[in-house]
Amino acid sequence: MEPFFLLWESPWGAWKVSAVHPFWLLAILLVAWQYAWKGIKEQKKLGSRLHPPTPLFLRSLLFGIGGGLLFSFGVSSWMFEIDGASIPWVWGGVIGMFLIRPRFACPSYAIGVLTFVSLCWEQAGWSTEGIWLGLSDFHTPDWLLLMSALHGLEWLLVRLDGQRGSTPIVEETKAGQVVGGALLQKIWALPLVIGTPNGWLPLPLVIGFSRVNLSRPMRQQKRRSSSLILVYAGLLGLVSWGAMFWPAFMWLAASFCILGHEGIYQLGRIRERRRSPLFTSNEKGVNILAVWPNSPAKMMHIKPGDTVLKVNGMEVTDLRALEHNISTSGALCRLEVMDRHGETRLSQRVLYEGDPVHLGIVEIPKAISLNPTIRTQEHQQ
């Protein structure tokens, strides 16, 4: 594997190696695993894959390749003092953090941890030969500056692709109210080639994004989240620049690399819980959190945020009552639906053999105990 971590005289040689780089292939596998596992969880907990994994994977892969090419071209005039021996250590950290939680796959966590280990390694005066070279010679300021620039790219990717494939979740407020929302979670594989003082280095990486949305329309949440990422990128760039001139700043920069990134996620969760929720559960009707693709509900134009009040003229209060009324009625299904603005409408459709009795509706339960499965999806991230 050593040739994959060598420097190349021309960027074209580095790009050729990137196409078959083992860590590029691993990055693709991580993206594929993320969306395959997401589909499995949706199938198990919701009864259907709300977002087919293959289109999500291909879309993420294309955006990642495009982003990697754009980034590599944009920083081609920069010279990073990054050695190929450090790449396996970074990837080891990424895999380790990914196994802890998928949203930790962002290299910021791994590089922050490796910076602390490298600084302690240097202080202790331990071995600087063999496999330990990449750790002892870990050039912290340049890795952190690279992370700062990559989060500028993440800002762009979130703006363009951040809301696709969100997963429905429910949470219970301190007041006991059940609210619905979505988990926005993405991962992109990036084929990068960066310049160093001695040549061009293939550097495949992954970056990830994860946010909980309970209170805003998806587009608005995407814009706000991407803005916070851009602020983080700017602040990380400042402390990384300081670390180039004042070695004591390396400890601060490493801390901010981890805590700043995690702080964005936790701050978002706190703010979401304090705001008025977008989707709430109430005693009236069946509150819609999500709708299966290609389902009867989808064809009847039922949308998240709607409330089904009646089925064939009979009032319903939860999904079980809806299923019972449909199973005991004829082939014609007539729904009285209220949207988020309080306006009601009628939707009807003939049901066929094989159509689900719940019409493909995912409800916001009246209590978490009635449907704990959707909630656990978010807490496993």
Per-residue pLDDT band for 379 (boundaries 50, 70, 90) equals very low
pLDDT digits (tens, 9 = 90+) for 294-338: 889 999 999 888 999 999 889 988 888 888 888 887 788 899 999
* Whether pLDDT at 3 is above 70: no
Residue where a domain terminates, one of 248, 274, 300 = 274
Q: Residue 345 sits in a domain of what CATH number?
A: 2.30.42.10
Domain identity same for 265 and 196: yes
Phi first, then psi: give them for residue 345, nearest 5 degrees: -150, 165
The predicted structure's pLDDT at residue 129: 58
Percent of the chain past pLDDT 70, that is, above it, reads: 91
* Whether pLDDT at 168 is above 50: yes
The predicted structure's pLDDT at residue 146: 93
pLDDT digits (tens, 9 = 90+) for 67-106: 999 999 999 988 998 888 888 889 999 999 888 887 888 8
Domain identity same for 172 and 214: yes
* Whether pLDDT at 62 is above 90: yes
Domain assignment of residue 380, yes or no: no
Domain assignment of residue 375, yes or no: no
Residue 178 · residue 232 · CB < 8 Å: no
Domain assignment of residue 377, yes or no: no
39/67: higher pLDDT: 67
Q: How many domains does the chain have?
A: 2
The predicted structure's pLDDT at residue 332: 85
Domain assignment of residue 9, yes or no: yes
Domain identity same for 265 and 287: no
The predicted structure's pLDDT at residue 59: 94
pLDDT digits (tens, 9 = 90+) for 255-299: 999 999 998 888 888 888 788 887 887 778 899 988 888 889 999
Question: Mean pLDDT score of the chain, rounded to an integer?
Answer: 84
219/203: higher pLDDT: 203
Domain identity same for 228 and 194: yes
The predicted structure's pLDDT at residue 136: 60
Per-residue pLDDT band for 341 (boundaries 50, 70, 90) equals confident
233/123: higher pLDDT: 233
Domain identity same for 253 and 358: no
The predicted structure's pLDDT at residue 377: 43
If one counts every other C-beta atom within 10 angstroms of the C-beta of residue 74, the result is 12
Domain identity same for 188 and 323: no
pLDDT digits (tens, 9 = 90+) for 105-156: 889 999 988 888 887 777 766 656 555 555 666 778 889 999 999 999 999 9
Domain assignment of residue 356, yes or no: yes
Domain identity same for 250 and 311: no
Domain identity same for 233 and 98: yes
Domain identity same for 286 and 238: no
Domain identity same for 192 and 334: no
Domain identity same for 255 and 287: no
Domain identity same for 110 and 36: yes
When mean pLDDT is compared across 43-47, 52-56, 222-226, the lowest value belongs to 43-47
Domain assignment of residue 369, yes or no: no
The predicted structure's pLDDT at residue 179: 83
Burial label, 130 (beta-carbon count in 10 A; 0-12, 13-18, 19+): exposed
The predicted structure's pLDDT at residue 63: 96
* Whether pLDDT at 235 is above 90: yes
pLDDT digits (tens, 9 = 90+) for 347-368: 988 888 888 888 888 888 877 6
Range of 243's domain? 2-274
Residue where a domain terminates, one of 254, 274, 294 = 274
